[in-house]
Structure 1
């Protein structure tokens, strides 16, 4: 049938109709399933005489935790102890991502070293760590740290770091001077990065040595070194024979150290393989062209190969960061008070399984979405831009 020069297509044969209809059908099915599950949950809760709600968060927790970045005592409500557990988890994730990135990239670059022993050691590390379960590794590291001597016989490193059963004590900045010093170090790091990029651009595009930028980098390094030595107001741990305890400085508990070391060592092995595959994805012609210009092996990697490899490295690197964040929930195996461990105790005491599980799911989902958002932004900055 033709109407005004256009053919009327029957509705059941119109692709546009079916595309919209199928999407509406999927939405209806999903909503119906959630409504069915919600109704079933409501009926079961009504039969057991309990109601869905989060009012239990305002009641006293009644249990203590070993690690807490904020003041907490057992009389505080569950919301307070869950917040303390969340901060503990974020601390592990933050330092874990930084340390595992450094170690993973280092091991990955070592796979291409001209030194035969270094290449083999990095290969053995990757194969051993990747082929053993993370839980087993956490138990191993916990056993290592538990074997440390008592406080009186603690091991000392440079007479400033104490290793004992009560934890690892190390110097730490203190007071307003320490805060200002940390701010200066951050500014120096940003300035050094900008100047390094500028020097690299001058060397590549203009063929100059970048002498002025190098002098500026040396000055920035001197300021950072001076700040590190005298500008942070370091508070060193000291053994007090009166109390038989170590006072001052920063204390890392055995549980926190075990979880952090285990996650870093385990995840770094996967990141090393990601770095290796990313570097190998760069065409050999790029290597040969860089060498033909007379660049040293270190400059070839730094200026030519690694920047191109980042386009391949960053997407799977995001997955490893997400895995590290989720694997931190294994803290319960070493008795570290992360958000999952604290929530598990909360569930056992209150019996609010649904509410507690929703809190845990929402917490990890939010953290992983934030990590993905940041990594996606970083990924966009290294991708090729088409004209």
Structure 2
């Protein structure tokens, strides 16, 4: 009985302490707000925002509510985080493997890349890409086309937009091909475990992801057209591209800086994971005739991922939170739009800051849960 009390009592005291601290700050905030005549509530979310955003994924104007402004700004934040995670993962894996190369030039170039980008503050890198690199680009009227259809200017990167007909048929074929690839990968894994045979999953997957969507064009009535960006003159000395998709320089600078900076840490995670596999396993795999690529794919990486994924998850979370630095270059993310402009207009500091903190917490927990699920999914089951 005494042992049970000793186990429960510290937990009860901890919970009581947390409740008291939370209650103290809550009561203190309420008293100060009452003294200043400030009301607490979320009714302001339905009020008109009365400000514009330069870049949005959804339709938005100043007559929309603060709640809709929050949703639009949240999507902008998620876009930066998603693009940053994709690019930093690709760069990180390539650089991490390159650091272990036997080639002197490749190995030292990768090491220089890591030491250079990870030792410069992220905010300075954002400033460099936005104020130095992208500001040196030509004006729209002087821009030369890239690949004949895209234009990189000081006002952004303009690319063609796609106009679909019967898009639902194409998406159905694409989803069917993805489901088929998943079943084939599961079947190939069972065959490999049971019989030791290795099916050409990559080539089969490439064929499925190509043939099925192609059939939607041939027999499904799907058509695809492109709207090209066209240079228009707004005034005597003012030009801009219309049509297509315009990627603002703020988005480009932010994604570049976040990707290059975070990829250095991902590269070190990859390098540590690969070096964590004993040399004897590599030599044993080579002795049975496996090629270096097969050794990396079949022997090293399945084991190295157990070491790579946990610290890489931390870097994904850091990238997502570091995206809040977008406010420094006026990219309309959650911090600039909601915790900045909306807060100054409404004065609802506690409500807006609380919503913003809860949003970032939810995004981080979702990323962590997904990565933990994947880590559990690929772990080596010991029998």
Could you state the TM-score of these two structures normalised by the residue count of structure 2?
0.89
> Which secondary structure does the structure 2 equivalent of 1:276 belong to?
helix
The aligned residue for residue 237 of structure 1 is 228
Kept in 1, the 8 Å contact 2:129–2:253? The answer is: yes
The aligned residue for residue 8 of structure 1 is none
Counterparts of 1:141 and 1:234, CA distance in 2: 33
The aligned residue for residue 91 of structure 1 is 79
The aligned residue for residue 139 of structure 2 is 150
Note closer, same or farther for the CA distance 1:174–1:295 as it changes in structure 2 (3 Å cut).
same
Deviations 1:141-184 (A, max 9, x none): 11211221111122321112211122111234322445644554
Note closer, same or farther for the CA distance 1:60–1:215 as it changes in structure 2 (3 Å cut).
closer
2:38 aligned with 1:47: no
Note closer, same or farther for the CA distance 1:222–1:348 as it changes in structure 2 (3 Å cut).
closer
Counterparts of 2:184 and 2:27, CA distance in 1: 61
2:22 aligned with 1:26: no
Counterparts of 1:36 and 1:214, CA distance in 2: 59
Alignment of 1:224-303 (within 5 A): 233-241=224-232, 244-303=239-298
Mark the runs of 5 or more structure 2 residues left unpaired by the alignment.
none
The aligned residue for residue 349 of structure 1 is 345
Candidates 161, 165, 182, aligned match of 2:154: 165
Deviations 1:306-357 (A, max 9, x none): 1110111111111111111101100001110001111211111221111111
Kept in 2, the 8 Å contact 1:68–1:88? The answer is: yes
Cα root mean square deviation, aligned: 2.6
Mark the runs of 5 or more structure 1 residues left unpaired by the alignment.
1-10
Alignment of 1:164-203 (within 5 A): 164-178=153-167, 180-181=169-170, 184-185=173-174, 187-188=176-177, 191-192=180-181, 195=184
Alignment of 1:116-131 (within 5 A): 116-131=104-119
* Displacement after TM superposition at 1:38 (Å): 1.0
Note closer, same or farther for the CA distance 1:214–1:110 as it changes in structure 2 (3 Å cut).
closer
Note closer, same or farther for the CA distance 1:225–1:183 as it changes in structure 2 (3 Å cut).
closer
The aligned residue for residue 304 of structure 1 is 299
The aligned residue for residue 373 of structure 1 is 369
* Displacement after TM superposition at 1:111 (Å): 1.6
Kept in 1, the 8 Å contact 2:232–2:242? The answer is: no
Number of matched residues? 374
Deviations 1:120-140 (A, max 9, x none): 211111111111110000001
Kept in 2, the 8 Å contact 1:172–1:235? The answer is: yes
Counterparts of 1:105 and 1:224, CA distance in 2: 30
Counterparts of 1:218 and 1:59, CA distance in 2: 50
Kept in 1, the 8 Å contact 2:76–2:332? The answer is: yes
Could you state the TM-score of these two structures normalised by the residue count of structure 1?
0.88
Deviations 1:70-122 (A, max 9, x none): 21111222111111101111111122222221121111122223432222211
Kept in 1, the 8 Å contact 2:169–2:216? The answer is: no
Of residues 202-211 and 157-166 in structure 1, the stretch that sits farther from structure 2 once superposed is: 202-211
2:311 aligned with 1:323: no
Counterparts of 2:102 and 2:23, CA distance in 1: 62
Note closer, same or farther for the CA distance 1:126–1:219 as it changes in structure 2 (3 Å cut).
same
Counterparts of 1:20 and 1:138, CA distance in 2: 50
* Displacement after TM superposition at 1:216 (Å): 3.5
Candidates 60, 68, 82, aligned match of 1:80: 68
Counterparts of 1:228 and 1:102, CA distance in 2: 30
